[in-house]
């Protein structure tokens, strides 16, 4: 990850996203900044994926690797804002419902702020890395006998009756922090937005935040257009695609195993205002892309992140980009950004289930050589 910002005076260390984008965020001199120096994550060109989408080289796919944030997911962008504002407002305790990443991030930032953190997660359905994080950062972890939607309902009830601050994405400061990812992408593309953005959709806060970021940049005159937003749900947890809540959402992509997203309306608005789509991909498509991206691009993200990439491959196959490719060339390609929302190390169990198991060998060169598959 790049760790310095170029300024007229030279370079200085990356200060975290609130300091980097301060004029665009609702903070003042009185706001105590709770930061782990999140943000400034790499935007990595993906040549294999680009060739797969258009062998003629008229497409450039780039992967925004938000797994490089301090707790390994994009949630840190929203959490630095939510926690700073909670501290400014004198709150002592925060609470969230989570499929795992929000809880890991809330726990870390609460530790940093010296606040109590309570997290509610669906029992048996969160990746091991995320659970270990919340526990180690010192949160009070409740495994709820229910799904994420049940956890969120409980959290809203807790917010109404107990002295706790909710740090789910229904907290508007979360969206404010997360919108900075759009600013970063514009900066990293030399002041231009991408033509298309592909991303997973769960509780729908992130697509809402990106659209807000791109829209603010356009309103300020920093860019002259906004990308087409393309969101993907898992086929077993696809309420927006169906147009109705899913009572019992099911998918191996546990991060987006959500049946009734809180920011449903905002996600639909982002889709419609940008001329985009919200569709779904099967668990098989997600897992195939999970392995392919690791082996081809050398980046590992958790399964939910690959819903967006799998969606890109799927729509490209049906000719989605055809009309947009005329007039493009390898020196002036169509730019597509996919958001890798969480690090692959979050879910080691899934990796082990999907990939080739190691071979056990005696500590002897001949034996190792015998089993080698070189070339
Ligand atoms: N990708 C990852 C890795 C996530 O953890 C989430 C959401 C999403 C995508 C979807 O983002 O909800 O803004 O549409 N995780 C939440 C959590 C629900 O509790 O960690 P969204």
Per the structure block, which two tokens stand in for 127? Answer: 């990746």
pLDDT for 9 equals 57
Residue 208 CA: nearest ligand 1 atom is 13
- Give the residue, by CA position, lying nearest to ligand 1 atom 15: 255
| 302 Cβ closer than 6 Å to some ligand 1 atom | yes
What's the CA gap between 169 and 191, in Å, rounded? 28
Distances (CA, A) of 213 to 49, 52, 59, 174: 26, 29, 24, 12
User: Three-state DSSP class for 99?
Assistant: coil
Residue 96 CA: nearest ligand 1 atom is 19
Closest by CA to 137, choosing from 185, 83, 176, is 83
Contact 77, 17 (CB under 8 A): yes
What's the CA gap between 135 and 113, in Å, rounded? 17
Residue 308: φ, ψ to 5°: -65, -40
Per the structure block, which two tokens stand in for 131? Answer: 């659970």
| 106 Cβ closer than 6 Å to some ligand 1 atom | no
Pocket test for ligand 1, best of 206, 208, 212, 290 (most atoms within 8 A of CB): 206
Per the structure block, which two tokens stand in for 129? Answer: 């890395």
| 202 Cβ closer than 6 Å to some ligand 1 atom | yes
| 342 Cβ closer than 6 Å to some ligand 1 atom | yes
Q: Which residues, 6+ apart, have CB-to-CB distance to 34 below 8 Å? A: 80, 83, 84, 87, 109, 112, 113
User: Three-state DSSP class for 91?
Assistant: coil
Closest by CA to 289, choosing from 323, 316, 264, is 316
| 341 Cβ closer than 6 Å to some ligand 1 atom | yes
What is the distance in A from the centroid of ligand 1 to the CA of 73? Answer: 9
| 121 Cβ closer than 6 Å to some ligand 1 atom | no
| 178 Cβ closer than 6 Å to some ligand 1 atom | no
Residue 104 CA: nearest ligand 1 atom is 20
What is the distance in A from the centroid of ligand 1 to the CA of 342? Answer: 8
| 147 Cβ closer than 6 Å to some ligand 1 atom | no
| 233 Cβ closer than 6 Å to some ligand 1 atom | no
| 204 Cβ closer than 6 Å to some ligand 1 atom | yes
| 304 Cβ closer than 6 Å to some ligand 1 atom | yes
Alpha helices in 70-194 (DSSP H): 75-88, 101-113, 128-136, 148-161, 172-178, 180-188
| 255 Cβ closer than 6 Å to some ligand 1 atom | yes
Contact 245, 261 (CB under 8 A): no
What is the distance in A from the centroid of ligand 1 to the CA of 202? Answer: 5
Q: Which residues, 6+ apart, have CB-to-CB distance to 319 below 8 Å? A: none
What's the CA gap between 326 and 50, in Å, rounded? 16
What's the CA gap between 103 and 249, in Å, rounded? 20
Per-residue pLDDT 10s for the chain (375 aa) are 345 666 555 577 999 999 999 999 999 999 999 999 999 999 999 999 999 999 999 999 999 999 999 999 999 999 999 999 999 999 999 999 999 999 999 999 999 999 999 999 999 999 999 999 999 999 999 999 999 999 999 999 999 999 999 999 999 999 999 999 999 999 999 999 999 999 999 999 999 999 999 999 999 999 999 999 999 999 999 999 999 999 999 999 999 999 999 999 999 999 999 999 999 999 999 999 999 999 999 999 999 999 999 999 999 999 999 999 989 999 999 999 999 999 999 999 999 999 889 999 999 999 999 999 876
Question: Taking the complete model, does pTM exceed 0.85, yes or no?
Answer: yes
What is the distance in A from the centroid of ligand 1 to the CA of 104? Answer: 12
Q: Calculate the CA 84 to chain-centre distance.
A: 21
Give CA angle at 27 (25, 30), nearest 5°. 170
pLDDT for 4 equals 61
Pocket test for ligand 1, best of 126, 308, 341 (most atoms within 8 A of CB): 341
Q: Which helix (H) or strand (E) holds 370?
A: helix 365-371
Indicate the pairing of strand 43-45 with strand 116-122: unpaired
Residue 237: φ, ψ to 5°: -145, 65
Closest by CA to 227, choosing from 361, 354, 331, 338, is 338
What is the distance in A from the centroid of ligand 1 to the CA of 361? Answer: 40
Closest by CA to 276, choosing from 178, 185, 186, 210, is 210
pLDDT for 2 equals 41
Distances (CA, A) of 42 to 2, 46, 55, 193: 7, 12, 25, 15
Residue 97 CA: nearest ligand 1 atom is 19
Contact 271, 229 (CB under 8 A): yes
What's the CA gap between 118 and 115, in Å, rounded? 10
């Amino acid at each position: 990850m790049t760790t310095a910002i170029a300024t007229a005076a030279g370079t200085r260390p990356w200060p975290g996203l609130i300091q980097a984008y301060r004029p665009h965020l609702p903070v003042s001199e009185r706001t105590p900044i709770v930061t782990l120096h999140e943000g400034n994550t790499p935007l990595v060109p993906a040549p294999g994926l680009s060739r797969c989408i258009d062998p003629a080289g008229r497409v450039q796919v780039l992967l925004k690797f938000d797994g490089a944030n301090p707790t390994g997911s994009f949630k840190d962008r929203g959490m630095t804002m939510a926690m700073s504002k909670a501290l400014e407002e004198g709150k002592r305790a925060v609470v969230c419902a989570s499929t795992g990443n929000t809880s890991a991030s809330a726990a870390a930032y609460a530790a940093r702020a010296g606040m109590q953190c309570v997290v509610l997660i669906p029992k048996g359905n969160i990746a091991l890395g995320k659970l270990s994080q919340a526990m180690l950062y010192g949160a009070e972890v409740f495994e709820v006998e229910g799904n994420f939607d049940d956890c969120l309902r409980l959290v809203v009830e807790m917010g109404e009756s107990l002295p706790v601050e909710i740090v789910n994405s229904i907290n508007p400061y979360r969206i404010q922090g997360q919108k900075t990812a759009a600013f970063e992408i514009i900066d990293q593309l030399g002041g231009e937005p991408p033509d298309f953005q592909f991303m997973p959709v769960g509780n729908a806060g992130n697509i809402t935040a990106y659209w807000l970021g791109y829209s603010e940049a356009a309103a300020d005159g920093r860019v002259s257009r906004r990308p087409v937003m393309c969101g993907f749900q898992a086929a077993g947890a696809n309420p927006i695609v169906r147009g109705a809540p899913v009572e019992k959402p099911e998918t191996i992509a546990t991060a987006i195993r959500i049946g009734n997203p809180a920011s449903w309306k905002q996600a639909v608005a982002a889709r419609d205002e940008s001329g985009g789509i919200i569709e779904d991909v099967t668990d098989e498509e997600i897992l195939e892309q999970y392995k392919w991206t690791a082996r081809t691009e050398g980046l590992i993200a958790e399964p939910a992140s690959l819903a967006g990439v799998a969606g890109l491959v799927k729509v490209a196959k049906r000719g989605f980009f055809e009309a947009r490719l005329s007039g493009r060339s390898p020196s002036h390609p169509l730019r597509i950004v996919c958001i890798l929302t969480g690090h692959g190390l979050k879910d080691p169990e899934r990796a082990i289930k999907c990939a080739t198991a190691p071979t056990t060998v005696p500590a002897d060169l001949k034996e190792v050589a015998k089993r080698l598959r070189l070339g």
